[in-house]
Structure 1
Amino acid sequence: MTTDTATAPTFAPALAQRYLRDGLWRREPLGEALRRAAAHRSERLALVTPEVRWTYRELDERTDAVAAGLLAATPLRPGDRMMFQSGNVAETVVAYYGAVKAGIVPVCTLPQHGEREIGQLAAHTGARAHLVQADFRSRDLVASAQRLAATVPGLDTLIVARGDGALTLEGLAATGATVPAPEIDPDGVVAFQLSGGTTGLPKVAPRRHPEYAYNARVWAQALRLDESSVVLHPLPIMHNAGVVAALQPAHLTGATFVLPTSADPGEVLELIARERVTAMPVVPPAVAIRLLEHPAARSTDLTSLTRFVIGGQRPSEELLERLEAELGIAALQMFGMAEGMFLYTPPDAPLWVRRGTVGTPISPADEVRVLEIGGEDEVPDGQIGELACRGPYTIPGYHRAAAHNATAFTADGFYRTGDLVTRHVVDGVDYYAIDGRIKDVINRGAEKIHAEEVEELLVRHPAVLAAALVGMPDPVLGERICAYVTVDAEADGTPTLPEITAFLLEQGLARFKLPERLEVVEAFPLTNVGKVSKKDLRADIARKIEEAS
């Protein structure tokens, strides 16, 4: 096992030995696991996009060809890092698997990332290659990559997909090269994923071959995926949720993976019906609402969909009830992170557990603590604390972040997630309710208001579909409370701030937690991975206040 702790901290030897002994980890590169999976089901359908329908044999051959081309026709060697800026197209899947098979480490960014972010991440990870999608919407990613190559030391290999260039993905696949099997450290880093829980430049989570494969396999077991399953993921595929919660679980179990070009509800609904999709993991509430509100939703056959899993943000009970009552979808909840840990509500759990918690850990080897905020002592069950976790697929540290690792992990290696949770024990099973983020707190004159508590009450209002609470600048109190809401088009009028105030008081909310401003919007701004962008909401309200002053 590599010992480069300065860049990619390793698992404690005793834990690594336990995971190997218990059969959770396998000492094989992820690319070999993908080859074995494909060999057992070569003529089954592996990948469906609006442009391709490939069997496992075809996908395996294409990714093998790209792997050989990368090693024969570029200066890249196993261990080199490749930045990814490519959207939901078949070429992204081929490039990712091809890189993994060649031992080249994908840095899983998004096409929407700007040059500053890509440049900083390339320098931080020591990336040598940059893969871009030439026809991604209206952005000229090729020109952007060329500018970065001139300014980022070492970033010397540009590979273009779906376009022209000195090196193209299609050209690499067509070289017909035969190269010796590369030597890949089966314990080494297989991919870099970006943490979604930080501010500023994201922290980089190094995912290793044995734990990343196990993460996919154990999640597939939780979803009960098999060769008859059809998995659809509507969000960016190169995000951690796309790779380890959808793409790899499907292909390691022989399922069919369906990749829409975007989360457009019309396209998604059409694919569900046409391909008889059985599982949609990690659907953010905002995407679920768009599906629910689409005109075609009630005329679309959704009976095949038995695993519709909401993640990324806590859904309202009203949303869960409407999905079941109006579309016949018994939605489940999950909680996951680029750093590892997945929680999931089993379909046979009690109704209040499925509605009010994000479930229980998916692996029996997962270890969870609920810590007092700012300390390492555990709080009693039923009390709010910080979620901390350790296990066979939770990273032991971030890449090149020794100072941050010293505070982000406990003395014995538990990752402090920054999420506020409450543990409930039901029939001997631990379930966890997410109560917000430690940092998602509005500081109103030293009074701390947890946004999620108020948001949960706001969505109980009959006219409110979704809510997001943010702080707005105030010269005296530091921050005051602003509530952004979307409303039901069929509601009897748009709610006013006095009406919302009266409603929240009826719900028992303390007066100091009441919103002091109400903004009604048609839709929330979203991050690249479909979460509500509170950063954009805070900027919006700050701008409005400044313009009015």
Structure 2
Amino acid sequence: MSTGFDHQQRDLTRGFVPFPDDRAAVYRQAGYWEGRALDTILRQAAAQWPDKAAVVDAGGSYGFAELDALADRIAAALAARGLRPGDRVLLQLPNSREFAVAAFALLRAGIVPVLCLPGHRSAEMGHFASVSGAVGMVIPDVVAGFDYRDMATDVAAANPGLRHVLVLGDPGPHESWSALADETPTGPPDVVVDTSAPALLLVSGGTTGLPKLIPRTHDDYVYNATASARACGLVHDDVYLVVLPAGHNFPFACPGMLGSMTVGATTVFTDDPSPESAFPLIERHRVTVTALVNALAKLWTQACEWEPVLPTSLRLVQVGGSRLSPDEARYIYDGLTTGLQQIFGMAEGMLQFTRPGDSVEVVANTQGRPVSPHDELRVVDEAGVDVTPGAVGELLVRGPYTLNGYYRADEANARSFSPDGFYRSGDRVRIFADGPLAGNVEVVGRIKDVIHRGGETVSATDLEDHLLTHPAVYAAAAVALPDEYLGEKICAAVVFRGTPVGLAELNGFLDERGASTHARPDVLVPMPSLPMTAVGKVDKKKVIAAVSAH
């Protein structure tokens, strides 16, 4: 018999902030929200292009109809194991066609995937399980020497409601995900979906403390994918390459795999983004579209000078994750592809794209303009007052695919939203008011204390909290230093108690604590003390000046 706690945790709507009725009515009337379940993207593609390759990896491919049938079979097998519509399951698979199978099988069963990244470790995964009330995990066995099964054992032990650990590959002591497709259930479960409810939970960049969970509804996420596909000019003959981790919002639905499916385009997966691996793959599959973070885009551009096989089939390369300077943008435009598309967006929703056909001036100097005509953007000063047109301030947004509240995070929501429902992005921007750049957004900086390392957003506060648990650490400040390849690298300025420890030992300690692999310091600088502001906070500008001179 379920306990009251189990029942509360299992309730999907507890802690979900829906769209207000008046705005929801506007979005439906405008045709943005079609009342479609997210998995119908695959269902419609299977009906229209049954034999075309839907997803491809090094091991082979699945056609749209084949992928659709696999999703049905596995959804039925999950239902037979007692998983119910509205349950949450942590999905942490590497880039592969099996990621697509798992995502659609969960959706087809009415289960809400929590899209985790391969670099998340026990600290984050346990947090996601606890906040979401997850009843299961889907993981690989061992990747790059890391045993996900051991981590899952620890996470499940700390979260009794997490009863199903399903493993792709050798399951060890857990259940086999791979065996689900071999079962012969009677048919897919009959699931009635409320399209205004969460379809999935994305993971925030973690600007303060542990990452938060972002509920994306069926209505808003179908629109996210289809509107992004239109903004990129995706067509049936395109081939989209997933280079970034597939659980990221960017390669999943901006337009990513989901947007590609809306036009019947093929998605190719790779887990090796290096130019020497990716360039031949692009040539083999005649890839036309991909999404990169800034550091990777610059690396690919450099590699065009020496790699024997060049990515000549690319017509559109989206670059996002952190701001490109005009010089960096022109370097990529000239050296990699004239189909450069700058992206400014977030898993919370709002997306700005430059568009195919924009002038070089727009592509090099801005991060684009809103995807939706109903995206509402405000730029405000520190008092929350709108600045004059063209001035710099914090960007506040709301619209048909931007969240209204993090999942089960009342304190964060009180900080993150204005009284009238605008999301406070934490980014400092200007919206050009006139001239050839009018209507486009330029990202100037950020307000939140984060580090953009290789396309991942790392919370400085969270890393500092981890560092302070080390017995030899008295005080710590995590700051960003510029890096030619990563965009920003993580520097830990540390005041030690007695004898300092080295970077390798400190990162080993973070590994034992289960911190994400992308949140480890690249540089360690011991300091006798940390400079403080007049109000007693660490003065990070002075920290950066001190470590830069070190």
State TM-score, norm by structure 1: 0.79
Contact 1:222-1:362 at 8 Å conserved across structures: yes
Contact 1:84-1:106 at 8 Å conserved across structures: yes
Q: Secondary structure, in 3 states, of the residue corresponding to 1:29?
A: coil
Structure 1 residue 188 and structure 2 residue 193: aligned? no
> In the TM superposition, what is the alpha-carbon distance from 1:351 to its structure 2 partner?
2.3
Structure 1 equivalent of residue 112 of structure 2: 105
Query: Which residue among 250, 267, 273 is the counterpart of 1:257?
Result: 267
> In the TM superposition, what is the alpha-carbon distance from 1:316 to its structure 2 partner?
3.0
> In the TM superposition, what is the alpha-carbon distance from 1:533 to its structure 2 partner?
6.7
Instruction: Identify which range, 25-34 or 249-258, moves more after superposition.
Output: 25-34
Structure 1 equivalent of residue 64 of structure 2: 56
Structure 2 equivalent of residue 137 of structure 1: 144
CA deviation profile, 1:491-532 (whole Å, cap 9, x unmatched): xxxxxxxxxxxxxxxxxxxxxxxxxxxxxxxxxxxxxxxx99
Structure 1 residue 71 and structure 2 residue 79: aligned? yes
Structure 1 residue 348 and structure 2 residue 357: aligned? yes
Structure 2 CA distance for aligned equivalents of residues 197 and 221 of structure 1:
30
> In the TM superposition, what is the alpha-carbon distance from 1:428 to its structure 2 partner?
9.1
CA RMSD between the two structures: 3.1
Structure 2 equivalent of residue 247 of structure 1: 257
Unpaired runs of at least 5, structure 1: 442-450, 453-469, 488-530
Structure 2 equivalent of residue 334 of structure 1: 343
Structure 2 equivalent of residue 275 of structure 1: 285
Query: Which residue among 199, 212, 215 is the counterpart of 2:208?
Result: 199
Name the % identity: 34
Structure 2 equivalent of residue 362 of structure 1: 371
CA spacing shift, 1:266–1:76, aligned 2, 3 Å: same
Task: List aligned pairs for 1:423-434, cutoff 5 A.
Answer: 423-425=431-433, 426=435, 429-434=438-443
> In the TM superposition, what is the alpha-carbon distance from 1:435 to its structure 2 partner?
0.6
Structure 2 CA distance for aligned equivalents of residues 532 and 417 of structure 1:
25
Structure 1 equivalent of residue 168 of structure 2: 161
Instruction: Identify which range, 342-351 or 125-134, moves more after superposition.
Output: 342-351
Structure 1 equivalent of residue 247 of structure 2: 238
Structure 2 CA distance for aligned equivalents of residues 419 and 328 of structure 1:
28
Structure 2 equivalent of residue 378 of structure 1: 386
Q: Secondary structure, in 3 states, of the residue corresponding to 2:39?
A: helix
Structure 2 equivalent of residue 502 of structure 1: none
Q: Secondary structure, in 3 states, of the residue corresponding to 1:30?
A: coil
Structure 2 residue identity aligned to 1:13:
D
Structure 1 residue 15 and structure 2 residue 33: aligned? no
Structure 2 equivalent of residue 457 of structure 1: none
Structure 2 residue identity aligned to 1:334:
I
Structure 1 CA distance for aligned equivalents of residues 114 and 324 of structure 2:
30
Q: Secondary structure, in 3 states, of the residue corresponding to 1:363?
A: coil
Q: Secondary structure, in 3 states, of the residue corresponding to 1:271?
A: helix
Query: Which residue among 404, 410, 417 is the counterpart of 1:396?
Result: 404
Structure 2 CA distance for aligned equivalents of residues 100 and 84 of structure 1:
12
Structure 2 CA distance for aligned equivalents of residues 405 and 480 of structure 1:
25
Structure 2 residue identity aligned to 1:415:
Y
State TM-score, norm by structure 2: 0.79
> In the TM superposition, what is the alpha-carbon distance from 1:389 to its structure 2 partner?
0.6
Contact 1:87-1:133 at 8 Å conserved across structures: yes
Task: List aligned pairs for 1:456-475, cutoff 5 A.
Answer: none
Structure 1 CA distance for aligned equivalents of residues 66 and 439 of structure 2:
43
Instruction: Identify which range, 314-323 or 382-391, moves more after superposition.
Output: 314-323
Structure 2 equivalent of residue 436 of structure 1: 445
Structure 2 equivalent of residue 462 of structure 1: none
Structure 1 residue identity aligned to 2:78:
L
> In the TM superposition, what is the alpha-carbon distance from 1:141 to its structure 2 partner?
0.6
Query: Which residue among 293, 296, 312 is the counterpart of 1:303?
Result: 312
Structure 1 equivalent of residue 524 of structure 2: 540
Structure 2 CA distance for aligned equivalents of residues 139 and 479 of structure 1:
28
Structure 2 residue identity aligned to 1:240:
N
Unpaired runs of at least 5, structure 2: 1-10, 453-459, 465-475, 486-515, 531-546
CA deviation profile, 1:458-498 (whole Å, cap 9, x unmatched): xxxxxxxxxxxx99x9xxxx9999854449xxxxxxxxxxx
Contact 1:236-1:242 at 8 Å conserved across structures: yes
Structure 2 residue identity aligned to 1:88:
N
Query: Which residue among 285, 293, 297 is the counterpart of 2:294?
Result: 285
Structure 2 CA distance for aligned equivalents of residues 428 and 289 of structure 1:
24
> In the TM superposition, what is the alpha-carbon distance from 1:535 to its structure 2 partner?
7.2
Structure 2 CA distance for aligned equivalents of residues 224 and 486 of structure 1:
31
Structure 2 equivalent of residue 464 of structure 1: none
> In the TM superposition, what is the alpha-carbon distance from 1:265 to its structure 2 partner?
2.0
Structure 2 equivalent of residue 32 of structure 1: 40
How many residue pairs get aligned? The number is 471
CA spacing shift, 1:199–1:407, aligned 2, 3 Å: closer
Contact 1:226-1:255 at 8 Å conserved across structures: yes
Structure 2 CA distance for aligned equivalents of residues 4 and 170 of structure 1:
27
Structure 1 residue identity aligned to 2:237:
S
Structure 2 CA distance for aligned equivalents of residues 231 and 135 of structure 1:
27
Structure 1 residue identity aligned to 2:288:
T
Instruction: Identify which range, 81-90 or 320-329, moves more after superposition.
Output: 320-329
Structure 2 CA distance for aligned equivalents of residues 417 and 368 of structure 1:
10
Structure 1 equivalent of residue 427 of structure 2: 419
CA spacing shift, 1:256–1:314, aligned 2, 3 Å: same
> In the TM superposition, what is the alpha-carbon distance from 1:438 to its structure 2 partner?
0.8
Structure 1 CA distance for aligned equivalents of residues 129 and 289 of structure 2:
34
Higher relative contact order (CA 8 A, sep 6+): 2
Structure 1 equivalent of residue 503 of structure 2: none
CA deviation profile, 1:58-106 (whole Å, cap 9, x unmatched): 111112211111112x121110000122111221111111101111111
> In the TM superposition, what is the alpha-carbon distance from 1:39 to its structure 2 partner?
0.9
Q: Secondary structure, in 3 states, of the residue corresponding to 2:137?
A: strand
Instruction: Identify which range, 316-325 or 152-161, moves more after superposition.
Output: 316-325
Structure 1 residue 409 and structure 2 residue 417: aligned? yes
CA deviation profile, 1:259-282 (whole Å, cap 9, x unmatched): 11232222211111111111113x
CA spacing shift, 1:96–1:362, aligned 2, 3 Å: same
Contact 1:298-1:327 at 8 Å conserved across structures: no
Structure 2 equivalent of residue 123 of structure 1: 130
> In the TM superposition, what is the alpha-carbon distance from 1:183 to its structure 2 partner?
2.4
CA spacing shift, 1:328–1:96, aligned 2, 3 Å: closer
Q: Secondary structure, in 3 states, of the residue corresponding to 1:97?
A: helix
Contact 2:53-2:62 at 8 Å conserved across structures: yes
> In the TM superposition, what is the alpha-carbon distance from 1:364 to its structure 2 partner?
0.8
Structure 1 residue 312 and structure 2 residue 321: aligned? yes
Structure 2 CA distance for aligned equivalents of residues 60 and 323 of structure 1:
38
CA spacing shift, 1:25–1:58, aligned 2, 3 Å: same
CA spacing shift, 1:172–1:378, aligned 2, 3 Å: same
Structure 1 CA distance for aligned equivalents of residues 203 and 311 of structure 2:
33
